[in-house]
Structure 1
Amino acid sequence: MNVPLTKTAYEDPATRAAWRRAAVSRLCAFLLSLASFVIWLYVVLLTPVWTLWVLMPVMFVLIHVAMLTTVKVSGILSLRRVLRVYPWRSFPGAASTAQNGTTRFSFPDPEHPAGRHVSLAYGNWLGSGYTFWIRKVRSGEVGEVWFAGDPRFLGVVAVPGPRRLVRVAQREAVDSRMPARRRGVGQEARERARAAGARVG
């Protein structure tokens, strides 16, 4: 499938549809995680007190799931922000599995496309091993990926189509506790990264 020839990824109708699907999916998961607490409380009230020994660990699992879905919902707007700045580009063979089991995406450095590559990691949190990008990359089912962004800062990765949108970022581009990247980035690239929501030096 060919990459859409638009100035930004979000100008492509299929990309906007993919973003809406991702937004609805994440919102539904978030609402279901909230509903699970109501069901848990209902079960607690209808069962003997001794069953709390079984139900309390379930509550901790529900809290963990609720935290993950909250993060995913809050990331919906940041996905769109990146897609409104950068166009899609196709990269066959960019996805691989790292030694620690996470997924690594390797893209050419925009300032040195012939020689240097920059890696972005995905999946270093509890439960990520069950996600699409960990399972399918590990099994070798993901060949070509689409990328919209600057790998020195952040971007959105997708299966050609696009499908399975996921945001990836360098830690210093999103974590205020770390110094922002200053070297090896031109002024235009810095401004685009800032417009996409990255921290820039």
Structure 2
Amino acid sequence: MAWDDPATRRAWAKLVTCAALGQLFWPLAWGALLAWYVSMSETWTLWLLFVPMAYTFYRTFLQVAYWRGAFRARTLLRRYPWQTYNAPESGVGNIPGVRSGYAWLRFPLPDAPDQQVTMTLHSHVRSVWWGGRLGKRAKPERKAQVQEIWFAGDPRMAAVIAVPGPRRLYVLHQRPTFSPDMPGRVVKDS
């Protein structure tokens, strides 16, 4: 399994460490901004601090998603081995069922390699890095960073992707849908 590799465990530990640091930093930053505002006792300073306070408040509650993602990644890494894919079909938007601006990748089905499943990188802070490298307009040096994708999981349900090393762990999952045009639909290669 992917988890048996010490490099995978180190990458996961980094993911959890970032989640823990964020869990500490964002509430402290919000509290510090609030304390600064209260100590200044000037109404005009609220306008100066409003955007940073709103963002730190948002990130404080977003941290739960980071924890959830880290523990989902560990579950998948313990269950599936790493597979490598060289330049899997990918892009940003422009296919049925994928919202504009969302990055996607296609992976073969485990039991039918001639069929592929589209997996979408749902909006998330970490998806920005991937989206900037998977799109058609990405610069060649950026595209080269995702030339080889490590994959652990089942594309019909959920998976962890990474760049070699592994680095940049990202959990992908299929969202339940009743629409035949949504990602997760099996597509035959032409």
Sort the TM-score into its range (normalised by shorter chain). Answer: 0.7 to 0.9
CA shift, 1:119, in A, is 1.0
Q: Which residue of 2 aligns with 1:160?
A: 164
| Distance (whole Å) between structure 2 residues aligned to residue 152 and residue 123 of structure 1 | 15
Q: Which residue of 1 aligns with 2:105?
A: 105
Does the 8 Å contact 2:3/2:74 carry over to 1? yes
CA shift, 1:89, in A, is 0.2
| Distance (whole Å) between structure 2 residues aligned to residue 19 and residue 95 of structure 1 | 26
Deviations, residues 18-41 of structure 1 (Å, cap 9, x unaligned): 111111122112211111112111
Please point out which of 49, 53, 57 is paired with 1:55.
Answer: 49
TM-score, length of structure 2 as denominator length: 0.78
Q: Which residue of 2 aligns with 1:3?
A: none
Please point out which of 70, 76, 101 is paired with 2:70.
Answer: 76
| Distance (whole Å) between structure 1 residues aligned to residue 58 and residue 90 of structure 2 | 27
Please point out which of 110, 135, 152 is paired with 2:132.
Answer: 135
RMSD: 2.1
Deviations, residues 136-165 of structure 1 (Å, cap 9, x unaligned): 333223111000000000010000111111
| Distance (whole Å) between structure 1 residues aligned to residue 88 and residue 61 of structure 2 | 30
CA 1:87 to 1:128, structure 2 compared with 1: closer, same or farther past 3 Å? Answer: closer
Q: Which residue of 2 aligns with 1:144?
A: 148
| Distance (whole Å) between structure 2 residues aligned to residue 21 and residue 134 of structure 1 | 21
Does the 8 Å contact 1:30/1:73 carry over to 2? no
Q: Which residue of 1 aligns with 2:115?
A: 116
TM-score, length of structure 1 as denominator length: 0.74
Instruction: Give unmatched runs, 5+ long, in structure 2.
Output: 94-99, 179-184, 186-190
CA shift, 1:53, in A, is 2.8
Does the 8 Å contact 1:95/1:143 carry over to 2? no
Deviations, residues 73-121 of structure 1 (Å, cap 9, x unaligned): 23211110010100000011126222222221210011211x2100111
| Distance (whole Å) between structure 1 residues aligned to residue 90 and residue 62 of structure 2 | 24
Does the 8 Å contact 2:88/2:106 carry over to 1? yes
> Helix, strand or coil: the match of 2:79?
coil
Q: Which residue of 2 aligns with 1:28?
A: 21
Corresponding pairs, count: 165
| Distance (whole Å) between structure 1 residues aligned to residue 155 and residue 104 of structure 2 | 12
Instruction: Give unmatched runs, 5+ long, in structure 1.
Output: 1-7, 173-177, 185-201
> Helix, strand or coil: the match of 1:42?
helix
Q: Which residue of 2 aligns with 1:65?
A: 59
Aligned letter for 2:84?
S
| Distance (whole Å) between structure 2 residues aligned to residue 152 and residue 160 of structure 1 | 23
Aligned letter for 1:120?
M
> Helix, strand or coil: the match of 2:84?
strand
Does the 8 Å contact 2:27/2:57 carry over to 1? no
Deviations, residues 145-187 of structure 1 (Å, cap 9, x unaligned): 0000000000100001111111000012xxxxx68xxxx9xxx
> Helix, strand or coil: the match of 1:124?
coil
